[in-house]
Protein backbone atom coordinates (compact mmCIF):
# COMPACT_ATOMS: atom_id res chain seq x y z
CA UNK A 1 0.00 0.00 0.00
CA UNK A 2 1.45 3.39 -0.93
CA UNK A 3 1.03 6.45 1.27
CA UNK A 4 0.08 9.63 -0.63
CA UNK A 5 2.84 12.27 -0.54
CA UNK A 6 1.62 15.33 1.40
CA UNK A 7 1.79 18.65 -0.50
CA UNK A 8 4.99 20.64 0.04
CA UNK A 9 4.55 23.11 2.93
CA UNK A 10 4.53 26.79 2.06
CA UNK A 11 6.37 29.47 4.04
CA UNK A 12 3.88 32.04 5.36
CA UNK A 13 5.53 34.22 7.99
CA UNK A 14 2.94 35.49 10.49
CA UNK A 15 0.37 33.08 8.94
CA UNK A 16 -1.38 36.04 7.28
CA UNK A 17 -2.34 33.96 4.23
CA UNK A 18 -3.17 30.71 5.97
CA UNK A 19 -6.59 29.45 7.05
CA UNK A 20 -6.37 26.85 9.81
CA UNK A 21 -9.91 26.68 11.18
CA UNK A 22 -13.59 27.17 10.39
CA UNK A 23 -15.89 29.40 12.42
CA UNK A 24 -19.55 30.34 12.36
CA UNK A 25 -19.16 33.22 14.78
CA UNK A 26 -17.57 36.28 13.18
CA UNK A 27 -16.92 37.27 9.57
CA UNK A 28 -14.41 39.94 8.58
CA UNK A 29 -13.88 41.59 5.21
CA UNK A 30 -10.85 43.73 5.92
CA UNK A 31 -10.81 45.41 2.51
CA UNK A 32 -14.39 46.64 2.82
CA UNK A 33 -14.31 47.26 6.57
CA UNK A 34 -16.99 44.67 7.45
CA UNK A 35 -17.39 42.74 10.70
CA UNK A 36 -20.42 40.55 11.35
CA UNK A 37 -21.35 38.35 14.30
CA UNK A 38 -23.26 35.38 12.85
CA UNK A 39 -24.09 37.48 9.79
CA UNK A 40 -25.28 40.59 11.66
CA UNK A 41 -23.20 43.73 11.13
CA UNK A 42 -21.32 44.99 14.16
CA UNK A 43 -22.66 48.52 13.84
CA UNK A 44 -26.30 47.35 14.26
CA UNK A 45 -25.28 45.20 17.21
CA UNK A 46 -23.40 48.06 18.88
CA UNK A 47 -26.38 50.37 18.46
CA UNK A 48 -29.21 47.96 19.31
CA UNK A 49 -27.98 44.91 21.19
CA UNK A 50 -26.48 44.17 24.60
CA UNK A 51 -23.33 42.25 25.52
CA UNK A 52 -25.40 39.39 26.96
CA UNK A 53 -27.44 39.09 23.75
CA UNK A 54 -24.26 39.13 21.62
CA UNK A 55 -22.71 36.33 23.69
CA UNK A 56 -25.89 34.28 23.24
CA UNK A 57 -25.71 35.01 19.49
CA UNK A 58 -22.06 33.95 19.24
CA UNK A 59 -22.48 30.80 21.31
CA UNK A 60 -25.80 29.66 19.81
CA UNK A 61 -25.43 31.15 16.33
CA UNK A 62 -28.87 32.74 16.50
CA UNK A 63 -30.50 35.72 18.20
CA UNK A 64 -32.39 34.68 21.35
CA UNK A 65 -36.12 35.03 21.91
CA UNK A 66 -37.06 36.98 25.08
CA UNK A 67 -37.42 33.81 27.24
CA UNK A 68 -34.12 32.46 25.87
CA UNK A 69 -32.31 35.71 26.63
CA UNK A 70 -33.86 35.93 30.11
CA UNK A 71 -32.85 32.40 30.93
CA UNK A 72 -29.28 32.92 29.59
CA UNK A 73 -28.91 36.19 31.53
CA UNK A 74 -30.20 34.51 34.69
CA UNK A 75 -27.64 31.70 34.38
CA UNK A 76 -24.84 34.22 33.90
CA UNK A 77 -25.92 36.25 36.93
CA UNK A 78 -26.18 33.10 39.05
CA UNK A 79 -22.43 32.65 38.56
CA UNK A 80 -21.20 36.21 39.19
CA UNK A 81 -19.87 35.32 42.65
CA UNK A 82 -16.39 33.83 42.97
CA UNK A 83 -15.88 30.37 44.45
CA UNK A 84 -14.86 30.47 48.13
CA UNK A 85 -11.09 30.72 48.37
CA UNK A 86 -10.65 32.97 45.35
CA UNK A 87 -10.92 36.15 47.43
CA UNK A 88 -8.02 34.96 49.62
CA UNK A 89 -6.04 34.33 46.46
CA UNK A 90 -6.74 37.84 45.17
CA UNK A 91 -5.40 39.17 48.47
CA UNK A 92 -2.21 37.11 48.10
CA UNK A 93 -1.21 38.83 44.84
CA UNK A 94 1.36 41.65 45.20
CA UNK A 95 -0.54 44.95 45.10
CA UNK A 96 1.82 46.37 42.48
CA UNK A 97 1.31 43.46 40.05
CA UNK A 98 0.27 44.37 36.50
CA UNK A 99 -3.50 43.69 36.26
CA UNK A 100 -3.09 41.46 33.18
CA UNK A 101 -0.59 39.27 35.08
CA UNK A 102 -3.05 39.17 37.96
CA UNK A 103 -5.97 38.31 35.65
CA UNK A 104 -4.03 35.54 33.89
CA UNK A 105 -3.05 34.05 37.25
CA UNK A 106 -6.56 34.33 38.70
CA UNK A 107 -8.30 32.74 35.70
CA UNK A 108 -5.81 29.92 35.97
CA UNK A 109 -6.60 29.63 39.69
CA UNK A 110 -10.35 29.41 38.99
CA UNK A 111 -9.71 25.94 37.57
CA UNK A 112 -8.44 24.78 40.99
CA UNK A 113 -11.90 25.41 42.45
CA UNK A 114 -13.85 23.87 39.57
CA UNK A 115 -14.64 20.16 39.95
CA UNK A 116 -15.39 20.13 36.21
CA UNK A 117 -12.01 21.67 35.27
CA UNK A 118 -10.93 18.58 33.32
CA UNK A 119 -14.39 17.35 32.32
CA UNK A 120 -14.60 16.83 28.58
CA UNK A 121 -17.58 17.21 26.26
CA UNK A 122 -19.73 19.99 24.91
CA UNK A 123 -21.94 20.46 27.96
CA UNK A 124 -19.24 20.66 30.66
CA UNK A 125 -17.26 23.00 28.37
CA UNK A 126 -20.30 25.23 27.82
CA UNK A 127 -20.82 25.38 31.61
CA UNK A 128 -17.16 26.27 32.17
CA UNK A 129 -17.35 28.99 29.50
CA UNK A 130 -20.41 30.50 31.18
CA UNK A 131 -18.81 30.44 34.63
CA UNK A 132 -15.53 31.96 33.43
CA UNK A 133 -17.35 34.74 31.59
CA UNK A 134 -19.54 35.46 34.61
CA UNK A 135 -16.70 35.42 37.15
CA UNK A 136 -14.05 37.39 35.29
CA UNK A 137 -15.52 40.83 36.21
CA UNK A 138 -15.25 39.94 39.92
CA UNK A 139 -11.58 38.96 39.45
CA UNK A 140 -10.67 42.25 37.78
CA UNK A 141 -12.72 44.49 40.08
CA UNK A 142 -11.64 42.52 43.19
CA UNK A 143 -7.95 42.85 42.35
CA UNK A 144 -8.30 46.55 41.56
CA UNK A 145 -10.01 47.30 44.88
CA UNK A 146 -7.58 45.15 46.83
CA UNK A 147 -4.52 46.87 45.31
CA UNK A 148 -6.00 50.25 46.24
CA UNK A 149 -6.56 49.14 49.84
CA UNK A 150 -10.35 49.09 49.43
CA UNK A 151 -12.71 46.32 50.54
CA UNK A 152 -13.83 43.86 47.89
CA UNK A 153 -17.45 44.43 46.76
CA UNK A 154 -19.72 41.39 46.27
CA UNK A 155 -21.44 41.13 42.87
CA UNK A 156 -25.06 42.19 42.44
CA UNK A 157 -27.01 39.54 40.49
CA UNK A 158 -29.75 42.02 39.61
CA UNK A 159 -27.35 43.96 37.37
CA UNK A 160 -26.14 43.44 33.79
CA UNK A 161 -22.53 42.32 33.19
CA UNK A 162 -21.41 45.91 32.51
CA UNK A 163 -23.29 47.49 35.45
CA UNK A 164 -22.25 44.76 37.84
CA UNK A 165 -18.60 45.18 36.90
CA UNK A 166 -18.74 48.94 37.52
CA UNK A 167 -20.61 48.35 40.77
CA UNK A 168 -17.90 45.96 41.99
CA UNK A 169 -15.16 48.32 40.78
CA UNK A 170 -16.48 51.54 42.30
CA UNK A 171 -18.87 50.39 45.03
CA UNK A 172 -21.61 52.47 43.37
CA UNK A 173 -24.17 51.57 40.71
CA UNK A 174 -23.18 53.40 37.48
CA UNK A 175 -25.49 55.77 35.60
CA UNK A 176 -27.32 54.18 32.66
CA UNK A 177 -25.13 56.15 30.20
CA UNK A 178 -21.85 54.98 31.76
CA UNK A 179 -23.04 51.36 31.96
CA UNK A 180 -24.13 51.54 28.32
CA UNK A 181 -20.70 52.89 27.32
CA UNK A 182 -19.02 49.84 28.82
CA UNK A 183 -21.69 47.55 27.34
CA UNK A 184 -20.93 48.92 23.84
CA UNK A 185 -17.19 48.34 24.32
CA UNK A 186 -17.89 44.78 25.47
CA UNK A 187 -20.06 44.15 22.38
CA UNK A 188 -17.36 45.48 20.03
CA UNK A 189 -14.60 43.33 21.53
CA UNK A 190 -16.47 40.03 21.92
CA UNK A 191 -15.12 38.21 18.85
CA UNK A 192 -12.88 38.93 15.92
CA UNK A 193 -12.11 35.94 13.72
CA UNK A 194 -8.86 34.11 14.25
CA UNK A 195 -6.89 36.96 15.85
CA UNK A 196 -3.63 36.10 17.66
CA UNK A 197 -5.16 35.33 21.07
CA UNK A 198 -8.05 33.32 19.62
CA UNK A 199 -5.58 31.34 17.52
CA UNK A 200 -3.49 30.73 20.64
CA UNK A 201 -6.60 29.49 22.51
CA UNK A 202 -7.50 27.15 19.64
CA UNK A 203 -3.94 25.75 19.53
CA UNK A 204 -4.16 24.89 23.23
CA UNK A 205 -7.64 23.40 22.81
CA UNK A 206 -6.50 21.37 19.81
CA UNK A 207 -4.12 19.42 22.07
CA UNK A 208 -7.25 18.38 24.05
CA UNK A 209 -6.07 20.38 27.02
CA UNK A 210 -8.83 22.08 29.06
CA UNK A 211 -10.81 25.30 28.57
CA UNK A 212 -9.12 27.09 31.48
CA UNK A 213 -5.67 26.42 30.00
CA UNK A 214 -6.88 27.66 26.61
CA UNK A 215 -8.22 30.93 28.05
CA UNK A 216 -5.03 31.46 30.07
CA UNK A 217 -3.02 30.99 26.85
CA UNK A 218 -5.25 33.58 25.16
CA UNK A 219 -4.86 36.13 27.96
CA UNK A 220 -1.08 35.88 27.77
CA UNK A 221 -1.27 36.47 24.02
CA UNK A 222 -3.74 39.36 24.29
CA UNK A 223 -1.42 41.21 26.65
CA UNK A 224 1.09 42.23 23.94
CA UNK A 225 1.11 45.85 22.72
CA UNK A 226 0.60 44.73 19.13
CA UNK A 227 -2.70 43.10 20.18
CA UNK A 228 -4.86 43.96 23.20
CA UNK A 229 -2.23 46.11 24.89
CA UNK A 230 -2.64 48.82 22.23
CA UNK A 231 -5.57 50.55 23.99
CA UNK A 232 -3.34 51.28 27.00
CA UNK A 233 -0.64 52.61 24.68
CA UNK A 234 -3.21 54.96 23.08
CA UNK A 235 -3.98 56.48 26.47
CA UNK A 236 -0.29 56.79 27.31
CA UNK A 237 0.16 58.64 24.01
CA UNK A 238 -2.79 61.01 24.66
CA UNK A 239 -1.37 61.80 28.10
CA UNK A 240 2.08 62.40 26.63
CA UNK A 241 0.65 64.80 24.06
CA UNK A 242 -1.27 66.65 26.75
CA UNK A 243 -3.01 69.33 24.68
CA UNK A 244 -4.53 69.91 21.26
CA UNK A 245 -1.83 72.35 20.10
CA UNK A 246 0.89 69.71 20.60
CA UNK A 247 -0.78 67.01 18.48
CA UNK A 248 0.63 68.00 15.07
CA UNK A 249 4.28 68.12 16.21
CA UNK A 250 3.98 64.93 18.24
CA UNK A 251 2.48 62.86 15.41
CA UNK A 252 4.80 64.27 12.74
CA UNK A 253 7.88 63.65 14.90
CA UNK A 254 6.84 60.05 15.54
CA UNK A 255 6.12 59.39 11.89
CA UNK A 256 9.48 60.93 10.91
CA UNK A 257 11.21 58.52 13.32
CA UNK A 258 9.14 55.68 11.75
CA UNK A 259 7.50 55.07 15.14
CA UNK A 260 3.95 53.74 15.12
CA UNK A 261 0.96 55.71 16.24
CA UNK A 262 -0.88 53.40 18.60
CA UNK A 263 -4.51 52.65 17.77
CA UNK A 264 -3.90 52.84 14.03
CA UNK A 265 -3.48 50.09 11.48
CA UNK A 266 -4.70 46.54 11.54
CA UNK A 267 -3.53 43.28 10.09
CA UNK A 268 -6.89 42.63 8.40
CA UNK A 269 -8.57 46.03 8.04
CA UNK A 270 -7.18 48.13 5.25
CA UNK A 271 -10.31 50.32 5.49
CA UNK A 272 -11.92 51.98 8.55
CA UNK A 273 -12.25 49.42 11.35
CA UNK A 274 -16.05 48.94 11.51
CA UNK A 275 -15.85 48.67 15.31
CA UNK A 276 -14.46 52.19 15.46
CA UNK A 277 -17.35 53.79 13.51
CA UNK A 278 -19.97 53.82 16.26
CA UNK A 279 -17.37 54.01 19.00
CA UNK A 280 -16.10 57.26 17.54
CA UNK A 281 -19.56 58.92 17.78
CA UNK A 282 -20.11 57.32 21.15
CA UNK A 283 -16.71 58.41 22.51
CA UNK A 284 -17.57 62.00 21.64
CA UNK A 285 -20.79 61.85 23.62
CA UNK A 286 -19.31 60.04 26.63
CA UNK A 287 -16.25 62.30 26.77
CA UNK A 288 -18.44 65.43 26.55
CA UNK A 289 -20.79 64.12 29.27
CA UNK A 290 -17.90 63.37 31.60
CA UNK A 291 -15.77 66.49 31.06
CA UNK A 292 -13.17 64.72 28.91
CA UNK A 293 -13.90 66.34 25.55
CA UNK A 294 -10.27 67.49 25.23
CA UNK A 295 -9.18 63.85 24.92
CA UNK A 296 -11.69 63.24 22.15
CA UNK A 297 -10.62 66.39 20.32
CA UNK A 298 -6.96 65.34 20.47
CA UNK A 299 -7.96 61.94 19.07
CA UNK A 300 -9.87 63.56 16.21
CA UNK A 301 -6.86 65.73 15.36
CA UNK A 302 -4.57 62.67 15.34
CA UNK A 303 -7.04 60.92 13.04
CA UNK A 304 -7.01 63.88 10.61
CA UNK A 305 -3.22 63.99 10.53
CA UNK A 306 -2.99 60.24 9.99
CA UNK A 307 -5.56 60.49 7.16
CA UNK A 308 -3.41 63.18 5.52
CA UNK A 309 -0.10 61.34 6.05
CA UNK A 310 -0.62 57.57 5.93
CA UNK A 311 -4.17 56.67 4.82
CA UNK A 312 -2.68 55.74 1.43
CA UNK A 313 -1.08 52.75 3.22
CA UNK A 314 -4.49 51.61 4.47
CA UNK A 315 -3.81 52.81 8.01
CA UNK A 316 -6.99 53.91 9.80
CA UNK A 317 -8.04 54.06 13.47
CA UNK A 318 -8.75 50.64 14.96
CA UNK A 319 -11.11 49.72 17.81
CA UNK A 320 -8.46 50.54 20.42
CA UNK A 321 -8.18 54.16 19.37
CA UNK A 322 -11.56 55.40 20.56
CA UNK A 323 -12.04 52.75 23.24
CA UNK A 324 -9.15 54.37 25.15
CA UNK A 325 -11.03 57.69 25.41
CA UNK A 326 -14.25 55.86 26.29
CA UNK A 327 -12.67 53.78 29.09
CA UNK A 328 -10.89 56.79 30.53
CA UNK A 329 -14.11 58.84 30.43
CA UNK A 330 -16.04 56.21 32.38
CA UNK A 331 -13.36 56.16 35.08
CA UNK A 332 -11.47 52.97 34.27
CA UNK A 333 -7.77 53.09 35.13
CA UNK A 334 -5.33 52.96 32.27
CA UNK A 335 -3.75 49.68 33.34
CA UNK A 336 -7.16 47.96 33.39
CA UNK A 337 -7.93 48.68 29.70
CA UNK A 338 -6.58 45.37 28.41
CA UNK A 339 -8.44 43.54 31.17
CA UNK A 340 -11.65 45.11 29.78
CA UNK A 341 -10.80 43.62 26.41
CA UNK A 342 -10.20 40.20 27.99
CA UNK A 343 -13.47 40.38 29.97
CA UNK A 344 -15.35 40.65 26.68
CA UNK A 345 -13.19 38.43 24.47
CA UNK A 346 -13.62 35.42 26.78
CA UNK A 347 -16.90 35.08 24.87
CA UNK A 348 -15.06 34.72 21.57
CA UNK A 349 -12.21 32.60 22.92
CA UNK A 350 -14.55 30.11 24.59
CA UNK A 351 -16.83 29.94 21.52
CA UNK A 352 -13.83 29.22 19.28
CA UNK A 353 -12.55 26.54 21.66
CA UNK A 354 -15.89 24.75 21.47
CA UNK A 355 -15.84 25.05 17.67
CA UNK A 356 -12.29 23.65 17.63
CA UNK A 357 -13.49 20.54 19.44
CA UNK A 358 -16.34 20.00 16.94
CA UNK A 359 -13.92 18.69 14.31
CA UNK A 360 -10.63 18.81 16.13
CA UNK A 361 -7.29 18.36 14.45
CA UNK A 362 -4.07 19.17 16.32
CA UNK A 363 -2.79 22.56 15.11
CA UNK A 364 0.88 22.08 14.48
CA UNK A 365 2.53 24.20 11.77
CA UNK A 366 6.17 23.79 10.82
CA UNK A 367 9.22 26.03 11.03
CA UNK A 368 11.85 26.47 8.31
CA UNK A 369 15.11 25.37 9.90
CA UNK A 370 17.84 27.90 9.05
CA UNK A 371 20.63 26.62 11.33
CA UNK A 372 23.70 24.57 10.43
CA UNK A 373 23.82 20.83 9.65
CA UNK A 374 26.35 18.05 10.12
CA UNK A 375 28.24 19.79 12.93
CA UNK A 376 30.74 17.71 14.94
CA UNK A 377 30.05 17.21 18.64
CA UNK A 378 33.07 18.74 20.41
CA UNK A 379 33.84 17.47 23.83
CA UNK A 380 33.30 20.20 26.50
CA UNK A 381 36.99 20.24 27.46
CA UNK A 382 37.95 21.13 23.89
CA UNK A 383 35.43 23.98 23.18
Residue among 150 and 313 whose Cβ is closer to ligand COA: 313
| Residue from 32, 120, 313, 365 in contact with ligand COA (CB under 6 A) | 313
Shortest distance in whole angstroms from residue 239 CB to ligand COA: 16
Contact 46, 188 (CB under 8 A): yes
In the annotation, is 373 catalytic? Answer: no
In the annotation, is 328 catalytic? Answer: no
Shortest distance in whole angstroms from residue 256 CB to ligand COA: 11
Residue 36 to residue 25: CA distance in whole angstroms: 8
Residue 161 to residue 76: CA distance in whole angstroms: 8
Q: Does 320 bind ligand COA (CB under 6 A)?
A: yes
Q: Would you put residue 344 in left (φ > 0), alpha (ψ -120 to 50) or beta? A: alpha
Which of these segments, 4-12, 32-40, 77-85, 316-324, binds ligand COA (CB under 6 A)?
316-324
Which of these segments, 35-43, 215-223, 260-268, 283-291, binds ligand COA (CB under 6 A)?
260-268
Binding track, positions 351-380, relative to ligand COA; x by CB under 6 A: ------------------------------
Residue among 266 and 280 whose Cβ is closer to ligand COA: 266
The half-sphere exposure of 370 on its side-chain side, counting CA atoms within 13 A, is 3
Shortest distance in whole angstroms from residue 97 CB to ligand COA: 24
The residue length of the chain stands at 383
Residue among 140 and 262 whose Cβ is closer to ligand COA: 262
Residue among 131 and 300 whose Cβ is closer to ligand COA: 300
Which of these segments, 110-118, 159-167, 263-271, 286-294, binds ligand COA (CB under 6 A)?
263-271
Shortest distance in whole angstroms from residue 262 CB to ligand COA: 5
In the annotation, is 43 catalytic? Answer: no
Residue among 25 and 169 whose Cβ is closer to ligand COA: 25
Q: Does 230 bind ligand COA (CB under 6 A)?
A: yes
- Please give the residue ranges that form the binding site for ligand COA (CB under 6 A): 226, 230, 260-267, 310, 313, 315, 318-320
Amino acid sequence: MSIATPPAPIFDKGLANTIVAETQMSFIDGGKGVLEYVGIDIDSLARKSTFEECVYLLWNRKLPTTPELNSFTESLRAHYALPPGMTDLIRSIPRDATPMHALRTLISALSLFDPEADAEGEEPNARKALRMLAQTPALIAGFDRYRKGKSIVEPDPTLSMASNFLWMLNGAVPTAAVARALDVCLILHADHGLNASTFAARVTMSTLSDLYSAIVTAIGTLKGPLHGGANEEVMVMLKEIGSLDRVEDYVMERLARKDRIMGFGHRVYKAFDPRATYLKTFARQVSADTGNLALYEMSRRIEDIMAREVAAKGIYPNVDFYSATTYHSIGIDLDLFTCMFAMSRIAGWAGHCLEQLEGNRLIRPGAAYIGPHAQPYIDIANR
